[in-house]
Structure 1
Amino acid sequence: MIDRRRLVYGLACALGTKALAQVPGHAYRIAFFGFTAKNSAEDDRVVAAFVNRLAELGFAQSRNLTIDWRYAEGRNERYAEFATEMRDKGVELIVTGSATAAQAVVDAGGSIPVVTFGINDPLRTGLIASFAHPGGQVTGMSNFTDDLVAKRIELLKIAVPTVTRIAFARCPECSRLSGLSSASLDAAFERYRESARSLGIALFSLPINAADDFPAAIAAIGREQADAVLLSPNQINAKLRDDWVAFEAAHRIPLMVDYRGFGCLLSYGPDYAAMFRRVAEMSVQILNGAKPGDLPLEQPTKVEFIINLKVAKAMGLTIPRSALLRADEVIS
Protein backbone atom coordinates (compact mmCIF):
# COMPACT_ATOMS: atom_id res chain seq x y z
CA MET A 1 0.00 0.00 0.00
CA ILE A 2 1.27 3.48 -0.87
CA ASP A 3 1.91 5.74 2.10
CA ARG A 4 0.06 8.82 0.84
CA ARG A 5 1.48 11.06 3.54
CA ARG A 6 5.03 10.19 2.55
CA LEU A 7 4.17 10.59 -1.14
CA VAL A 8 2.69 14.06 -0.64
CA TYR A 9 5.60 15.04 1.58
CA GLY A 10 8.10 13.84 -1.03
CA LEU A 11 6.38 15.77 -3.81
CA ALA A 12 6.24 18.89 -1.69
CA CYS A 13 9.95 18.62 -0.91
CA ALA A 14 10.81 18.10 -4.59
CA LEU A 15 8.74 21.08 -5.71
CA GLY A 16 10.05 23.21 -2.90
CA THR A 17 13.63 22.38 -3.76
CA LYS A 18 13.07 23.36 -7.38
CA ALA A 19 11.40 26.61 -6.50
CA LEU A 20 14.09 27.60 -4.02
CA ALA A 21 17.06 26.52 -6.13
CA GLN A 22 16.09 28.01 -9.47
CA VAL A 23 17.22 31.64 -9.72
CA PRO A 24 14.39 33.90 -10.93
CA GLY A 25 15.35 35.86 -14.01
CA HIS A 26 18.58 33.90 -14.54
CA ALA A 27 19.34 32.87 -18.15
CA TYR A 28 20.67 29.31 -17.96
CA ARG A 29 23.03 28.01 -20.65
CA ILE A 30 23.91 24.41 -21.38
CA ALA A 31 25.55 22.58 -24.30
CA PHE A 32 24.66 19.36 -26.10
CA PHE A 33 27.47 17.48 -27.86
CA GLY A 34 25.83 15.15 -30.38
CA PHE A 35 27.11 12.79 -33.06
CA THR A 36 25.57 14.21 -36.21
CA ALA A 37 23.15 16.99 -37.07
CA LYS A 38 21.43 14.79 -39.66
CA ASN A 39 18.46 13.57 -37.66
CA SER A 40 16.01 10.78 -38.35
CA ALA A 41 12.42 11.02 -37.16
CA GLU A 42 13.41 8.83 -34.21
CA ASP A 43 16.30 11.15 -33.38
CA ASP A 44 13.85 14.06 -33.32
CA ARG A 45 11.55 12.13 -30.97
CA VAL A 46 14.38 11.32 -28.59
CA VAL A 47 15.76 14.86 -28.50
CA ALA A 48 12.22 16.21 -28.03
CA ALA A 49 11.87 13.95 -24.98
CA PHE A 50 14.92 15.68 -23.50
CA VAL A 51 13.87 19.24 -24.35
CA ASN A 52 10.25 18.73 -23.31
CA ARG A 53 11.22 17.22 -19.97
CA LEU A 54 13.50 20.18 -19.27
CA ALA A 55 10.57 22.49 -19.99
CA GLU A 56 8.25 20.51 -17.73
CA LEU A 57 10.76 21.03 -14.94
CA GLY A 58 10.98 24.77 -15.47
CA PHE A 59 13.80 25.15 -18.01
CA ALA A 60 12.40 26.18 -21.40
CA GLN A 61 14.46 27.37 -24.38
CA SER A 62 11.99 30.13 -25.15
CA ARG A 63 12.12 31.49 -21.63
CA ASN A 64 15.14 30.91 -19.41
CA LEU A 65 17.34 28.35 -21.18
CA THR A 66 19.78 28.43 -24.09
CA ILE A 67 21.15 25.17 -25.52
CA ASP A 68 24.30 25.28 -27.66
CA TRP A 69 24.06 22.32 -30.04
CA ARG A 70 27.36 20.94 -31.35
CA TYR A 71 27.95 17.89 -33.56
CA ALA A 72 31.28 16.18 -34.18
CA GLU A 73 30.23 14.61 -37.52
CA GLY A 74 32.67 11.74 -37.10
CA ARG A 75 35.66 13.92 -36.16
CA ASN A 76 36.86 13.10 -32.66
CA GLU A 77 39.16 16.11 -32.51
CA ARG A 78 36.15 18.43 -32.56
CA TYR A 79 35.16 17.42 -29.03
CA ALA A 80 38.24 19.14 -27.61
CA GLU A 81 37.36 22.25 -29.65
CA PHE A 82 33.78 22.19 -28.35
CA ALA A 83 34.94 21.66 -24.77
CA THR A 84 37.27 24.66 -24.90
CA GLU A 85 34.58 26.80 -26.52
CA MET A 86 32.01 25.96 -23.85
CA ARG A 87 34.49 26.41 -21.03
CA ASP A 88 35.25 29.89 -22.31
CA LYS A 89 31.54 30.66 -22.72
CA GLY A 90 30.92 29.64 -19.13
CA VAL A 91 28.14 27.16 -19.85
CA GLU A 92 26.65 25.57 -16.75
CA LEU A 93 26.38 21.99 -17.96
CA ILE A 94 27.26 19.78 -20.95
CA VAL A 95 25.19 16.80 -22.10
CA THR A 96 26.85 14.15 -24.29
CA GLY A 97 26.64 10.50 -25.25
CA SER A 98 30.33 10.10 -26.03
CA ALA A 99 32.97 9.12 -23.50
CA THR A 100 35.46 10.78 -25.83
CA ALA A 101 33.55 14.04 -25.45
CA ALA A 102 33.21 13.65 -21.68
CA GLN A 103 36.95 13.12 -21.40
CA ALA A 104 37.58 16.18 -23.58
CA VAL A 105 35.50 18.32 -21.22
CA VAL A 106 37.45 17.05 -18.22
CA ASP A 107 40.76 17.62 -20.02
CA ALA A 108 39.75 21.17 -20.98
CA GLY A 109 39.94 22.18 -17.34
CA GLY A 110 37.39 24.05 -15.31
CA SER A 111 34.63 22.17 -13.58
CA ILE A 112 31.72 22.08 -16.03
CA PRO A 113 29.34 19.28 -15.00
CA VAL A 114 28.84 16.58 -17.64
CA VAL A 115 25.65 14.52 -17.90
CA THR A 116 25.99 11.51 -20.17
CA PHE A 117 23.32 9.60 -22.05
CA GLY A 118 25.04 6.39 -22.95
CA ILE A 119 28.78 6.10 -22.43
CA ASN A 120 29.89 2.53 -22.09
CA ASP A 121 32.46 2.09 -19.33
CA PRO A 122 33.00 5.33 -17.38
CA LEU A 123 34.48 3.44 -14.45
CA ARG A 124 37.43 1.94 -16.34
CA THR A 125 38.04 5.19 -18.20
CA GLY A 126 38.47 6.97 -14.89
CA LEU A 127 35.64 9.41 -15.57
CA ILE A 128 33.94 8.30 -12.36
CA ALA A 129 35.15 6.81 -9.08
CA SER A 130 32.11 4.54 -8.72
CA PHE A 131 28.58 4.27 -10.05
CA ALA A 132 27.09 5.07 -6.65
CA HIS A 133 29.43 8.02 -5.98
CA PRO A 134 30.95 9.33 -9.23
CA GLY A 135 32.97 11.88 -7.27
CA GLY A 136 33.97 14.19 -10.13
CA GLN A 137 32.22 16.26 -12.75
CA VAL A 138 30.60 13.39 -14.71
CA THR A 139 27.31 11.57 -14.06
CA GLY A 140 24.25 10.56 -16.08
CA MET A 141 23.37 7.27 -17.77
CA SER A 142 25.50 4.38 -19.02
CA ASN A 143 24.30 2.22 -21.93
CA PHE A 144 26.23 -0.86 -20.63
CA THR A 145 27.26 -1.76 -24.19
CA ASP A 146 29.70 -4.44 -22.99
CA ASP A 147 26.91 -6.28 -21.21
CA LEU A 148 24.66 -6.24 -24.29
CA VAL A 149 27.09 -7.44 -26.96
CA ALA A 150 26.57 -11.13 -26.21
CA LYS A 151 22.78 -10.69 -26.25
CA ARG A 152 22.93 -8.84 -29.56
CA ILE A 153 24.89 -11.70 -31.08
CA GLU A 154 22.39 -14.23 -29.71
CA LEU A 155 19.37 -12.32 -31.03
CA LEU A 156 21.03 -11.85 -34.42
CA LYS A 157 21.53 -15.60 -34.65
CA ILE A 158 17.90 -16.24 -33.68
CA ALA A 159 16.60 -13.76 -36.25
CA VAL A 160 18.93 -14.94 -39.04
CA PRO A 161 19.85 -18.58 -38.24
CA THR A 162 22.14 -18.92 -41.27
CA VAL A 163 24.63 -16.42 -39.87
CA THR A 164 28.06 -17.93 -39.16
CA ARG A 165 30.50 -15.00 -39.51
CA ILE A 166 29.91 -11.59 -37.95
CA ALA A 167 32.00 -8.46 -38.44
CA PHE A 168 32.09 -6.32 -35.29
CA ALA A 169 32.40 -2.72 -36.47
CA ARG A 170 33.95 -0.74 -33.62
CA CYS A 171 36.11 2.32 -33.02
CA PRO A 172 39.15 1.42 -30.90
CA GLU A 173 40.48 4.97 -31.21
CA CYS A 174 37.25 6.38 -29.74
CA SER A 175 37.71 4.11 -26.75
CA ARG A 176 41.38 4.99 -26.32
CA LEU A 177 40.58 8.70 -26.44
CA SER A 178 38.10 8.14 -23.62
CA GLY A 179 40.82 6.64 -21.44
CA LEU A 180 40.54 2.90 -22.05
CA SER A 181 43.77 0.95 -22.54
CA SER A 182 44.50 -1.23 -25.55
CA ALA A 183 44.77 -4.22 -23.20
CA SER A 184 41.27 -3.67 -21.84
CA LEU A 185 39.88 -3.29 -25.36
CA ASP A 186 41.55 -6.53 -26.45
CA ALA A 187 40.24 -8.35 -23.38
CA ALA A 188 36.70 -7.12 -24.05
CA PHE A 189 36.85 -8.29 -27.66
CA GLU A 190 38.01 -11.74 -26.56
CA ARG A 191 34.93 -11.96 -24.32
CA TYR A 192 32.72 -11.05 -27.26
CA ARG A 193 34.44 -13.59 -29.48
CA GLU A 194 33.98 -16.33 -26.91
CA SER A 195 30.26 -15.52 -26.64
CA ALA A 196 29.95 -15.78 -30.41
CA ARG A 197 31.95 -19.00 -30.51
CA SER A 198 29.54 -20.61 -28.04
CA LEU A 199 26.79 -20.03 -30.61
CA GLY A 200 28.81 -21.44 -33.49
CA ILE A 201 29.68 -18.00 -34.84
CA ALA A 202 33.06 -16.58 -35.82
CA LEU A 203 33.40 -12.93 -34.75
CA PHE A 204 36.12 -10.74 -36.20
CA SER A 205 37.06 -7.16 -35.43
CA LEU A 206 36.37 -4.45 -37.98
CA PRO A 207 38.10 -1.27 -36.74
CA ILE A 208 36.63 1.99 -38.08
CA ASN A 209 38.40 4.88 -36.39
CA ALA A 210 37.23 7.58 -38.79
CA ALA A 211 34.50 7.98 -41.40
CA ASP A 212 37.17 7.73 -44.11
CA ASP A 213 37.83 4.13 -43.02
CA PHE A 214 34.43 3.00 -44.30
CA PRO A 215 35.49 1.85 -47.82
CA ALA A 216 38.33 -0.25 -46.39
CA ALA A 217 35.93 -1.75 -43.83
CA ILE A 218 33.48 -2.77 -46.56
CA ALA A 219 36.32 -4.39 -48.49
CA ALA A 220 37.31 -6.32 -45.34
CA ILE A 221 33.74 -7.57 -44.90
CA GLY A 222 33.96 -9.02 -48.41
CA ARG A 223 37.37 -10.59 -47.89
CA GLU A 224 36.32 -12.18 -44.61
CA GLN A 225 33.01 -13.34 -46.12
CA ALA A 226 31.01 -11.97 -43.22
CA ASP A 227 27.28 -12.69 -43.45
CA ALA A 228 26.24 -10.14 -40.78
CA VAL A 229 27.55 -6.98 -39.15
CA LEU A 230 27.28 -5.91 -35.52
CA LEU A 231 27.69 -2.16 -35.06
CA SER A 232 29.19 -0.81 -31.87
CA PRO A 233 27.34 2.34 -30.75
CA ASN A 234 29.85 5.14 -31.23
CA GLN A 235 30.19 8.52 -32.88
CA ILE A 236 31.81 7.16 -36.05
CA ASN A 237 29.11 4.61 -36.82
CA ALA A 238 26.49 7.25 -36.06
CA LYS A 239 28.04 9.54 -38.67
CA LEU A 240 28.09 6.61 -41.13
CA ARG A 241 24.43 5.70 -40.57
CA ASP A 242 23.31 6.39 -44.14
CA ASP A 243 26.30 4.47 -45.49
CA TRP A 244 25.55 1.46 -43.31
CA VAL A 245 21.86 1.46 -44.26
CA ALA A 246 22.78 1.63 -47.95
CA PHE A 247 25.33 -1.17 -47.48
CA GLU A 248 22.74 -3.44 -45.84
CA ALA A 249 20.27 -2.86 -48.65
CA ALA A 250 22.79 -3.28 -51.47
CA HIS A 251 24.60 -6.37 -50.14
CA ARG A 252 21.68 -7.95 -48.26
CA ILE A 253 23.90 -8.45 -45.25
CA PRO A 254 21.90 -7.97 -42.02
CA LEU A 255 22.96 -5.40 -39.45
CA MET A 256 22.39 -5.48 -35.69
CA VAL A 257 22.56 -2.07 -34.01
CA ASP A 258 21.71 -0.63 -30.59
CA TYR A 259 19.14 1.92 -31.69
CA ARG A 260 15.84 1.63 -33.53
CA GLY A 261 16.34 5.02 -35.21
CA PHE A 262 19.28 3.64 -37.19
CA GLY A 263 16.87 2.08 -39.69
CA CYS A 264 18.47 -1.36 -39.95
CA LEU A 265 17.05 -4.87 -39.78
CA LEU A 266 17.64 -5.45 -36.06
CA SER A 267 18.25 -3.36 -32.98
CA TYR A 268 18.69 -4.23 -29.35
CA GLY A 269 19.42 -1.49 -26.89
CA PRO A 270 18.06 1.00 -24.38
CA ASP A 271 14.86 2.98 -24.78
CA TYR A 272 16.66 6.20 -25.61
CA ALA A 273 13.61 8.44 -25.22
CA ALA A 274 13.26 7.23 -21.63
CA MET A 275 17.00 7.72 -21.09
CA PHE A 276 16.82 11.28 -22.40
CA ARG A 277 13.96 12.14 -20.07
CA ARG A 278 16.01 10.88 -17.15
CA VAL A 279 19.07 12.79 -18.37
CA ALA A 280 16.93 15.94 -18.43
CA GLU A 281 15.89 15.30 -14.83
CA MET A 282 19.50 14.85 -13.72
CA SER A 283 20.49 17.98 -15.62
CA VAL A 284 17.83 19.95 -13.75
CA GLN A 285 19.12 18.63 -10.44
CA ILE A 286 22.56 20.02 -11.30
CA LEU A 287 21.19 23.34 -12.57
CA ASN A 288 19.36 23.58 -9.27
CA GLY A 289 22.60 23.20 -7.32
CA ALA A 290 23.37 19.47 -7.03
CA LYS A 291 26.95 18.32 -7.65
CA PRO A 292 27.40 15.70 -10.41
CA GLY A 293 29.79 13.75 -8.23
CA ASP A 294 26.99 13.23 -5.69
CA LEU A 295 24.46 11.88 -8.23
CA PRO A 296 24.76 8.12 -8.90
CA LEU A 297 25.47 7.21 -12.50
CA GLU A 298 22.49 5.13 -13.60
CA GLN A 299 21.74 2.41 -16.12
CA PRO A 300 18.67 2.20 -18.34
CA THR A 301 15.72 0.27 -16.96
CA LYS A 302 14.27 -0.76 -20.32
CA VAL A 303 15.98 -2.53 -23.23
CA GLU A 304 14.18 -3.07 -26.55
CA PHE A 305 14.53 -5.72 -29.26
CA ILE A 306 13.17 -4.32 -32.53
CA ILE A 307 12.76 -6.20 -35.84
CA ASN A 308 12.13 -4.22 -39.02
CA LEU A 309 10.15 -6.42 -41.39
CA LYS A 310 10.21 -3.74 -44.08
CA VAL A 311 13.96 -4.13 -44.25
CA ALA A 312 13.68 -7.93 -44.08
CA LYS A 313 11.29 -7.97 -47.04
CA ALA A 314 13.54 -5.73 -49.10
CA MET A 315 16.47 -8.06 -48.33
CA GLY A 316 14.48 -11.18 -49.16
CA LEU A 317 14.75 -12.50 -45.60
CA THR A 318 12.14 -14.47 -43.70
CA ILE A 319 12.41 -13.88 -39.96
CA PRO A 320 11.56 -16.99 -37.89
CA ARG A 321 8.46 -16.85 -35.70
CA SER A 322 10.65 -17.60 -32.66
CA ALA A 323 12.46 -14.30 -33.23
CA LEU A 324 9.26 -12.34 -33.85
CA LEU A 325 7.82 -13.61 -30.57
CA ARG A 326 10.84 -12.32 -28.69
CA ALA A 327 10.67 -8.84 -30.20
CA ASP A 328 9.37 -5.91 -28.21
CA GLU A 329 8.23 -4.36 -31.46
CA VAL A 330 7.94 -5.53 -35.06
CA ILE A 331 7.96 -2.77 -37.67
CA SER A 332 5.92 -3.84 -40.68
Structure 2
Amino acid sequence: MPTMRRREFILLAGAAATWPLAALAQQPSGRVFRIGILGATSPGPAQVMLNAFRDGMRERGYVEGQNLVIEYRAPGAASEQDVAADLMRGGYDVILAWTTPSVIAARRATSTIPIVFVGVADPVGLGLVASLARPGANVTGIANFATDLSGKMIEMLREIVPDARRLGAVRNPDNPGVTVQLRQLLDAGRALGLELQVVDARVPVEFQAAFAQLRQSGIQGVVMLADS
Protein backbone atom coordinates (compact mmCIF):
# COMPACT_ATOMS: atom_id res chain seq x y z
CA MET A 1 0.00 0.00 0.00
CA PRO A 2 1.54 3.41 -0.92
CA THR A 3 2.78 5.45 2.06
CA MET A 4 0.16 8.21 1.71
CA ARG A 5 -2.68 5.74 1.43
CA ARG A 6 -1.35 3.79 4.40
CA ARG A 7 -1.13 7.02 6.41
CA GLU A 8 -4.75 7.91 5.60
CA PHE A 9 -5.75 4.39 6.59
CA ILE A 10 -4.05 4.73 9.99
CA LEU A 11 -5.69 8.13 10.50
CA LEU A 12 -8.99 6.32 10.17
CA ALA A 13 -7.76 3.86 12.77
CA GLY A 14 -7.37 6.80 15.12
CA ALA A 15 -11.06 7.49 14.67
CA ALA A 16 -11.94 3.83 15.16
CA ALA A 17 -9.85 3.58 18.31
CA THR A 18 -11.79 6.43 19.92
CA TRP A 19 -15.10 4.57 19.66
CA PRO A 20 -14.42 2.33 22.69
CA LEU A 21 -13.14 5.38 24.62
CA ALA A 22 -16.40 7.29 24.26
CA ALA A 23 -18.03 5.77 27.36
CA LEU A 24 -14.84 6.10 29.39
CA ALA A 25 -14.64 9.79 28.45
CA GLN A 26 -17.73 10.42 30.58
CA GLN A 27 -15.61 9.77 33.65
CA PRO A 28 -14.11 12.68 35.65
CA SER A 29 -11.59 14.87 33.81
CA GLY A 30 -7.94 14.00 34.33
CA ARG A 31 -8.40 10.41 33.17
CA VAL A 32 -5.42 9.14 31.15
CA PHE A 33 -6.39 6.60 28.47
CA ARG A 34 -4.11 3.71 27.60
CA ILE A 35 -3.88 2.10 24.15
CA GLY A 36 -1.77 -0.97 23.47
CA ILE A 37 -0.74 -1.55 19.84
CA LEU A 38 0.08 -5.03 18.56
CA GLY A 39 2.10 -4.41 15.41
CA ALA A 40 4.05 -6.46 12.91
CA THR A 41 7.49 -4.81 12.83
CA SER A 42 9.88 -3.15 15.25
CA PRO A 43 9.00 0.44 16.27
CA GLY A 44 11.55 1.97 13.85
CA PRO A 45 9.93 0.90 10.56
CA ALA A 46 6.49 1.49 12.09
CA GLN A 47 7.11 5.17 12.92
CA VAL A 48 5.23 6.54 9.89
CA MET A 49 2.11 4.61 10.86
CA LEU A 50 2.54 5.39 14.57
CA ASN A 51 2.83 9.11 13.83
CA ALA A 52 -0.28 8.96 11.65
CA PHE A 53 -2.14 7.19 14.43
CA ARG A 54 -1.03 9.85 16.93
CA ASP A 55 -2.27 12.54 14.52
CA GLY A 56 -5.63 10.80 14.24
CA MET A 57 -5.96 10.57 18.02
CA ARG A 58 -4.84 14.18 18.49
CA GLU A 59 -7.56 15.38 16.10
CA ARG A 60 -10.08 13.81 18.47
CA GLY A 61 -8.66 15.31 21.63
CA TYR A 62 -6.36 12.49 22.79
CA VAL A 63 -2.76 13.67 23.15
CA GLU A 64 0.24 11.70 24.39
CA GLY A 65 1.71 13.23 27.53
CA GLN A 66 -1.64 14.76 28.44
CA ASN A 67 -4.51 12.29 28.45
CA LEU A 68 -3.12 9.41 26.39
CA VAL A 69 -0.51 6.67 26.72
CA ILE A 70 0.39 4.55 23.66
CA GLU A 71 2.54 1.44 23.95
CA TYR A 72 3.68 -0.40 20.83
CA ARG A 73 4.59 -4.08 20.82
CA ALA A 74 5.66 -6.43 18.01
CA PRO A 75 6.36 -10.18 18.10
CA GLY A 76 10.11 -10.18 17.46
CA ALA A 77 11.50 -13.38 18.93
CA ALA A 78 8.28 -14.04 20.87
CA SER A 79 5.13 -15.38 19.30
CA GLU A 80 2.23 -13.11 18.42
CA GLN A 81 0.08 -14.95 20.94
CA ASP A 82 2.62 -14.41 23.74
CA VAL A 83 2.88 -10.69 22.97
CA ALA A 84 -0.91 -10.39 22.86
CA ALA A 85 -1.27 -12.17 26.20
CA ASP A 86 1.33 -9.83 27.71
CA LEU A 87 -0.52 -6.79 26.39
CA MET A 88 -3.73 -7.94 28.06
CA ARG A 89 -1.99 -7.69 31.43
CA GLY A 90 -1.05 -4.04 30.84
CA GLY A 91 -4.31 -2.44 31.90
CA TYR A 92 -5.09 -0.96 28.48
CA ASP A 93 -8.44 0.57 27.60
CA VAL A 94 -8.15 -0.44 23.93
CA ILE A 95 -5.97 -2.81 21.92
CA LEU A 96 -5.13 -1.78 18.34
CA ALA A 97 -4.14 -4.71 16.09
CA TRP A 98 -2.47 -3.92 12.76
CA THR A 99 -2.48 -7.27 10.97
CA THR A 100 -4.73 -10.29 10.60
CA PRO A 101 -2.49 -12.54 12.77
CA SER A 102 -2.27 -9.84 15.47
CA VAL A 103 -6.03 -9.33 15.73
CA ILE A 104 -6.59 -13.10 15.85
CA ALA A 105 -4.03 -13.34 18.67
CA ALA A 106 -5.64 -10.43 20.52
CA ARG A 107 -9.11 -11.93 20.12
CA ARG A 108 -7.90 -15.22 21.59
CA ALA A 109 -6.32 -13.37 24.50
CA THR A 110 -9.36 -11.36 25.61
CA SER A 111 -13.12 -11.22 25.20
CA THR A 112 -13.54 -8.08 27.30
CA ILE A 113 -10.93 -5.46 26.29
CA PRO A 114 -12.06 -3.61 23.12
CA ILE A 115 -9.97 -4.56 20.07
CA VAL A 116 -9.72 -2.33 17.00
CA PHE A 117 -8.25 -3.87 13.85
CA VAL A 118 -6.68 -2.10 10.87
CA GLY A 119 -6.53 -3.51 7.36
CA VAL A 120 -7.88 -7.01 7.96
CA ALA A 121 -8.84 -8.47 4.59
CA ASP A 122 -11.85 -10.58 5.57
CA PRO A 123 -12.93 -10.01 9.19
CA VAL A 124 -16.34 -11.65 8.67
CA GLY A 125 -14.94 -14.71 6.91
CA LEU A 126 -12.31 -15.13 9.63
CA GLY A 127 -14.99 -15.04 12.32
CA LEU A 128 -13.62 -11.89 13.95
CA VAL A 129 -16.90 -9.99 13.61
CA ALA A 130 -20.50 -11.03 13.00
CA SER A 131 -20.87 -8.46 10.21
CA LEU A 132 -19.27 -5.20 9.10
CA ALA A 133 -22.40 -3.25 10.05
CA ARG A 134 -22.78 -4.91 13.46
CA PRO A 135 -19.43 -6.36 14.55
CA GLY A 136 -20.64 -7.57 17.94
CA ALA A 137 -18.47 -8.85 20.81
CA ASN A 138 -15.37 -6.76 21.59
CA VAL A 139 -13.88 -6.44 18.08
CA THR A 140 -14.37 -3.68 15.52
CA GLY A 141 -12.23 -1.88 12.95
CA ILE A 142 -11.49 -1.17 9.30
CA ALA A 143 -11.40 -3.83 6.58
CA ASN A 144 -9.13 -3.33 3.57
CA PHE A 145 -11.13 -5.60 1.20
CA ALA A 146 -7.94 -7.01 -0.30
CA THR A 147 -9.89 -10.16 -1.09
CA ASP A 148 -12.11 -8.22 -3.48
CA LEU A 149 -9.04 -7.15 -5.46
CA SER A 150 -7.20 -10.46 -5.68
CA GLY A 151 -8.89 -11.59 -8.90
CA LYS A 152 -8.45 -8.15 -10.45
CA MET A 153 -4.71 -8.26 -9.76
CA ILE A 154 -4.16 -11.25 -12.01
CA GLU A 155 -6.36 -9.70 -14.70
CA MET A 156 -4.25 -6.53 -14.59
CA LEU A 157 -1.04 -8.55 -14.76
CA ARG A 158 -2.35 -10.36 -17.81
CA GLU A 159 -3.03 -7.00 -19.47
CA ILE A 160 0.55 -5.92 -18.77
CA VAL A 161 1.99 -9.23 -20.06
CA PRO A 162 -0.62 -10.40 -22.62
CA ASP A 163 1.45 -13.41 -23.76
CA ALA A 164 1.91 -14.72 -20.21
CA ARG A 165 0.74 -18.27 -19.59
CA ARG A 166 2.52 -19.06 -16.32
CA LEU A 167 2.21 -16.66 -13.39
CA GLY A 168 3.40 -16.84 -9.80
CA ALA A 169 2.02 -15.73 -6.45
CA VAL A 170 3.93 -15.07 -3.24
CA ARG A 171 2.07 -15.55 0.05
CA ASN A 172 2.69 -15.73 3.78
CA PRO A 173 1.21 -19.12 4.67
CA ASP A 174 1.03 -18.16 8.35
CA ASN A 175 -1.48 -15.39 7.65
CA PRO A 176 -5.06 -16.76 7.69
CA GLY A 177 -6.25 -13.75 5.69
CA VAL A 178 -4.37 -15.02 2.63
CA THR A 179 -6.69 -18.02 2.18
CA VAL A 180 -9.57 -16.11 0.59
CA GLN A 181 -7.20 -13.99 -1.51
CA LEU A 182 -5.51 -17.10 -2.90
CA ARG A 183 -8.81 -18.80 -3.71
CA GLN A 184 -9.98 -15.80 -5.73
CA LEU A 185 -6.60 -15.56 -7.43
CA LEU A 186 -6.72 -19.23 -8.46
CA ASP A 187 -10.31 -18.85 -9.71
CA ALA A 188 -9.35 -15.84 -11.82
CA GLY A 189 -6.31 -17.67 -13.20
CA ARG A 190 -8.36 -20.68 -14.25
CA ALA A 191 -10.92 -18.43 -15.93
CA LEU A 192 -8.12 -16.90 -18.00
CA GLY A 193 -6.50 -20.25 -18.79
CA LEU A 194 -3.39 -19.47 -16.77
CA GLU A 195 -1.14 -21.74 -14.77
CA LEU A 196 -0.44 -20.30 -11.32
CA GLN A 197 2.46 -21.35 -9.10
CA VAL A 198 2.32 -20.37 -5.41
CA VAL A 199 5.46 -19.97 -3.29
CA ASP A 200 5.78 -19.06 0.38
CA ALA A 201 7.64 -16.21 2.06
CA ARG A 202 6.93 -15.60 5.72
CA VAL A 203 9.39 -12.73 6.22
CA PRO A 204 11.16 -10.31 3.83
CA VAL A 205 14.46 -12.22 3.97
CA GLU A 206 12.70 -15.14 2.26
CA PHE A 207 11.65 -13.09 -0.78
CA GLN A 208 14.93 -13.69 -2.65
CA ALA A 209 14.56 -17.46 -2.44
CA ALA A 210 10.88 -17.24 -3.41
CA PHE A 211 11.62 -15.18 -6.52
CA ALA A 212 14.54 -17.44 -7.45
CA GLN A 213 12.20 -20.43 -7.33
CA LEU A 214 9.69 -18.67 -9.58
CA ARG A 215 12.41 -17.61 -12.00
CA GLN A 216 13.67 -21.17 -12.32
CA SER A 217 10.12 -22.29 -13.11
CA GLY A 218 9.88 -19.87 -16.03
CA ILE A 219 7.21 -17.69 -14.40
CA GLN A 220 6.34 -14.64 -16.51
CA GLY A 221 4.79 -12.42 -13.83
CA VAL A 222 4.24 -12.36 -10.07
CA VAL A 223 1.38 -11.32 -7.80
CA MET A 224 2.19 -10.44 -4.18
CA LEU A 225 -0.68 -11.39 -1.87
CA ALA A 226 -1.43 -8.81 0.83
CA ASP A 227 0.05 -9.79 4.18
CA SER A 228 -2.17 -7.71 6.45
Q: Distance in 1 between matches of 2:140 and 2:100?
A: 11
Partner of 2:74: 71
Partner of 1:124: 125
| Alpha carbons of structure 1 residues 204 and 226: separation in structure 2 relative to 1, 3 Å | same
Looking at secondary structure, tell me which structure has more helix per residue. 1
Post-superposition CA distance 1:150-191 (Å, at most 9, x none)? 11222233344454432211122221xx7x9xxxx3x76343
Q: Secondary structure at the match of 1:147?
A: helix
Partner of 1:30: 35
Question: Where does structure 2 lack aligned partners over 5 or more consecutive residues?
Answer: 1-21
Q: Is this contact kept in 1: 2:38–2:84, CA < 8 A?
A: no
Partner of 1:62: 65
Partner of 2:45: 39
Q: Secondary structure at the match of 2:79?
A: helix
Partner of 1:195: 188
Q: 1:223 aligned to 2:216?
A: yes
Q: Distance in 2 between matches of 1:24 and 1:190?
A: 50
Give the structure-2-normalised TM-score. Answer: 0.76
Q: Distance in 1 between matches of 2:91 and 2:111?
A: 9
Q: Is this contact kept in 2: 1:146–1:188, CA < 8 A?
A: yes
Partner of 2:198: 205
Q: Secondary structure at the match of 1:154?
A: helix
* Paired residue type of 1:24: S
What's the offset of the Cα at 1:91? 0.8
* Paired residue type of 1:58: G
Partner of 1:83: 84
Q: Distance in 1 between matches of 2:129 and 2:159?
A: 36
Alignment of 1:88-127 (within 5 A): 88-127=89-128
Percent of paired sites with the same residue:
28
Question: Where does structure 1 lack aligned partners over 5 or more consecutive residues?
Answer: 1-16, 236-332
* Paired residue type of 1:25: G
| Alpha carbons of structure 1 residues 31 and 80: separation in structure 2 relative to 1, 3 Å | same
Aligned residues: 206
**RMSD, aligned α-carbons:** 2.9
Post-superposition CA distance 1:265-288 (Å, at most 9, x none)? xxxxxxxxxxxxxxxxxxxxxxxx
Q: Distance in 2 between matches of 1:94 and 1:19?
A: 15
Q: Distance in 1 between matches of 2:130 and 2:24?
A: 31
| Alpha carbons of structure 1 residues 161 and 22: separation in structure 2 relative to 1, 3 Å | farther
What's the offset of the Cα at 1:88? 0.8
What's the offset of the Cα at 1:140? 0.5
Post-superposition CA distance 1:57-101 (Å, at most 9, x none)? 11011311111112235x6x5321221121111111111222211
Give the structure-1-normalised TM-score. Answer: 0.54
Higher relative contact order (CA 8 A, sep 6+): 1
Partner of 1:297: none
Partner of 2:149: 148
Q: Is this contact kept in 2: 1:87–1:110, CA < 8 A?
A: no
Q: 1:52 aligned to 2:58?
A: no
Post-superposition CA distance 1:6-40 (Å, at most 9, x none)? xxxxxxxxxxx799636411111101222223538
Higher gyration radius (CA): 1
* Paired residue type of 1:35: A
Q: Distance in 2 between matches of 1:130 and 1:20?
A: 27
Q: Is this contact kept in 2: 1:105–1:112, CA < 8 A?
A: no
Q: Secondary structure at the match of 2:125?
A: helix
* Paired residue type of 1:52: D
